[in-house]
Structure 1
């Protein structure tokens, strides 16, 4: 949305509910499996990390919002980084989002959608066809215009809130509550320090979406006062929901059992409401995942489209269809997402996405400090509170996530991180080649 269309109508309450809606997605239903697998089936450290990841997310949201408010241009993080560090790094951000973050996230959600749908239908062999089919279906829906996307988002919001509310209420009413919650921290033979980084990466996926919060600044009546309230309030509420839902899971099933289910929420629902009730909750979860997929397939292609329009990617990607939709960019992202989905690995894909995007989030956090030095007179309708403490917390967390994945989390995670790094860095020769073509086209003209 361009700024000229934005009306300054959002108060703190409306912004807060928008924050909650943007962040709660599919991760809260599926990530407990990865969390309790990493802790060896022990609950303590997992529960602690849901809180720590929430605090990190609040620091990240408060920090990045200063850049968003100071650079109120369409394009998100790609535009912020270009403004702070220059065109090459700006392109690399857009490239990473276009070929790695968005496709890997879409693929991960589609894989989970396929697995859960196949489970409901009682035919596991349908998992991959459904995963690929749902990506293509939502891509087609997104080429029909924005009204369709808006309707999907409304329905999916109800879809995600219903399972959460029902599990939270009935988990505590009907659950036994005799499973361990805070002890042991990890199972015997597992080093807490050895798995903290992997736990953070797993859980941060469930908190992702906060980067879009700063974009609300242009629509707020008083961003300086209300944006921090919306970020702290909204993300604290998300953290509370995540902690309470995980408590409700543990109230019903012990952590070592939750580690065995790809959808712990569905397993808990079946325990609470019986097989039919469990299926009903799974349908709600599927609607939520459908909405999250729609959100990513709506926003991701806009970045591909912008890069095409700038002729930093093939110009065909920067063209709109008759109804004003970036159809070429949408189907390009869909094809990439399908290729990632063929791996069938939800946790691997989310780890890849989180590692890649947090490297650039960290650059954004550093950018807040750099902008304050380079452009002290820049109009800042909102300033990060407790500067520079909050940005330093966000930067330290970002550096820890990146370094941990690259060097400290075992060979598998190192290989995932290096794969992400290589895919990102391929953007450099692409940028040089496309720039060379642009220069030659200018000379020819």
Structure 2
């Protein structure tokens, strides 16, 4: 057939992945930080009774969680990028310090995530339904569960957010029933129980710190959020109230309803026994099912944060471009696989080892984050911050003192083995930084274009180009094209 060639229409562009809104983001932050009261039981045993954990969950959210949440809300609104805290530290102290923070935070998150498939099986095994597995089958089950949850993460962050929302409702539901049933049995005097001889300060502070940290982890999802400058602060503050309530209400109900002499029995998973004693077998099974499902939500939220952090670091030119490559679902394929591999490798470690190691690593990163927050306030007071903590530079510095002191306390209580392990991780991070820089200079692998110098990314608003400040940051934080491209380092 002859004649003019028929014009071929270009293929329709792939639909953009759905962005996170307030409620799914609250659920993801909730799971980054908490996931429910599961895991706080050991604070009662280590605290020698109910008094110290109750005081801890009343005071530490003000001294630790709130400052961290406020810093996260301000800086995530100013830098809505998937690099999150890595971008903040880079803007304040340069790429080398930011790279080390990225390594320590990613290692801490991966250690944390290695807990959840194991805890999921522990809760099922303690349900009395004959679900305990022998060691070989257990190892295979951990691998299978990790693979299934990793696949869900691959399928899209919006799907993860919606599943986290549903899991939040399910995980907290049995504690509403527990609280209602416990009210007639509560004796307020039991909340004052304290056996000083039974106090384990290292266990207590590690338990409290672990249950109240990771507020900044969701900042690595800021680039995937609908209107992040408005949505992120709302979600952070909504999550603060949800987390504190999810800890305090069941703790008050359980310790107030059971005799003070049971303090030594409060170890991980004891809330299911509290349910048995207060409501019966049906409530025990409900709590165990909620605990198991909560671990799935914790895994999903942590893996999302860790993998999108790697994506953000790749977009900043800090690590190879392959980590920024997205699937058709908008998720960072190689970054997810890297995080999942780390989880599998670390899942053989014990619960207490993981808690202490990750707390120390996380503390190192948070010291850099608080320092970056204060420095950016002092160096660039006019940097546009859609949400701004209503204090000046001096007030910002004072606000950071309590959490910094808590971090130092937790570090000072760490074992010698934890110091050694963390020193090895830091040294490995330094070696990795110089190795990556060497690979970049010799073009061994592909990198996205490096960022402008730190000063240009957050220059003073009084500079001649102040009107272009938003454009400069937009260039700093811009997503790459659909092919994972953008300019490359040749």
Say yes or no: TM over 0.5. Answer: yes
**1:240-274 Cα deviation digits (max 9, x unpaired):** 44222111110233465354342122111122222
When residues 310 and 58 of structure 1 are mapped into structure 2, their CA distance, relative to the original with a 3 A threshold, is closer
| TM-superposed deviation, 1:283 | 0.7
Q: TM-score, normalised by structure 1?
A: 0.82
Preserved contact between residue 117 and residue 130 of structure 1 (Cα < 8 Å): no
Q: Which residue of 2 aligns with 1:286?
A: 292
2:166 to 138, 149, 155: 155
Q: Which residue of 2 aligns with 1:401?
A: 406
Q: Which residue of 2 aligns with 1:188?
A: 197
Preserved contact between residue 63 and residue 394 of structure 1 (Cα < 8 Å): no
Q: Which has the higher helix share?
A: 1
| TM-superposed deviation, 1:179 | 6.8
Say if 2:187 is the partner of 1:177: yes
Separation (CA, whole Å) in 1 of partners of 2:371 and 2:338: 32
**Structure 2 portions without partners, runs of 5+:** 1-15, 446-488
| TM-superposed deviation, 1:418 | 3.7
Q: Which residue of 1 aligns with 2:210?
A: 205
**Structure 1 portions without partners, runs of 5+:** none
Say if 2:301 is the partner of 1:295: yes
When residues 441 and 176 of structure 1 are mapped into structure 2, their CA distance, relative to the original with a 3 A threshold, is closer
Separation (CA, whole Å) in 2 of partners of 1:17 and 1:303: 18
2:248 to 243, 251, 255: 243
| TM-superposed deviation, 1:220 | 6.2
Relative to structure 2, which stretch is displaced further, 17-26 or 203-212? 17-26
**1:120-145 Cα deviation digits (max 9, x unpaired):** 24325365543343222201222233
Separation (CA, whole Å) in 1 of partners of 2:125 and 2:307: 28
Q: Which residue of 2 aligns with 1:430?
A: 432
Q: TM-score, normalised by structure 2?
A: 0.75
Separation (CA, whole Å) in 1 of partners of 2:123 and 2:46: 22
Separation (CA, whole Å) in 2 of partners of 1:155 and 1:18: 9
Q: Which residue of 1 aligns with 2:150?
A: 139
Preserved contact between residue 252 and residue 271 of structure 1 (Cα < 8 Å): no
1:53 is paired with a residue whose SS is helix
When residues 16 and 53 of structure 1 are mapped into structure 2, their CA distance, relative to the original with a 3 A threshold, is farther
What is the count of residue pairs matched by the alignment?
424
When residues 430 and 209 of structure 1 are mapped into structure 2, their CA distance, relative to the original with a 3 A threshold, is closer
| TM-superposed deviation, 1:426 | 0.9
Q: Which residue of 1 aligns with 2:478?
A: none
Separation (CA, whole Å) in 1 of partners of 2:24 and 2:335: 30
When residues 18 and 247 of structure 1 are mapped into structure 2, their CA distance, relative to the original with a 3 A threshold, is same
The 5 Å alignment of 1:2-401 reads: 21=30, 25-26=34-35, 28-33=37-42, 35-39=43-47, 41-55=48-62, 56-98=64-106, 100-120=107-127, 121-122=129-130, 123=132, 125=134, 128-146=139-157, 148-173=159-184, 175-177=185-187, 180-184=190-194, 186-188=195-197, 190=199, 195=201, 198-211=203-216, 234-254=239-259, 257=262, 259-260=264-265, 261-308=267-314, 312-313=318-319, 315-343=321-349, 345-388=350-393, 391-392=396-397, 394-401=399-406
C-alpha RMSD of the superposition: 3.5
When residues 315 and 368 of structure 1 are mapped into structure 2, their CA distance, relative to the original with a 3 A threshold, is closer
